[in-house]
Amino acid sequence: MTDMIWSHVDEVPARKFTDGITLRQMWEGAGGRSCHVIDIAPGAVWPNLDVHKPGPEEVFVVSGVFNDGVRDYPPGSFIHCPAGSSHVPQSLTGCRLFVFYPEG
């Protein structure tokens, strides 16, 4: 049986990324693979273009409405952002995201 690693989001310290956006690193693996919970406060906007490199980004909208600079994604939405793609994360209403970087 493999040793499992678990944590509860409320027990992981939030790190301020920018005004209105906090990151919680839930797990980090080999090669920079990681997953995070990102909270975006109402009206907050990522400060610059978010380019996905070296690999893709997987986003699941847990709550609220996420906007990538082009369209809105309601709770329950899954977004696959291939390597090299980009967006400007933001939310008018506020949202919580689960984000996974499978290749770092």
Structure confidence by residue, pLDDT tens digits, 13-56: 999 999 999 999 999 999 889 999 999 999 999 998 888 888 89
Looking only at the bridges linking them, the beta strands covering 50-51 and 57-64 are unpaired
Confidence of residue 1 (pLDDT cuts 50, 70, 90): low
Q: Which domains does the chain have, with CATH numbers?
A: 14-101 (2.60.120.10)
Q: Please report, in angstroms and rounded to a whole number, the separation of the first and last CA atoms in the chain.
A: 26
Q: How many helices (H) and strands (E) does the chain have?
A: 0, 10
State how far the Cα of 102 lies from the Cα of 19, in Å rounded to an integer.
27
pTM here?
0.91
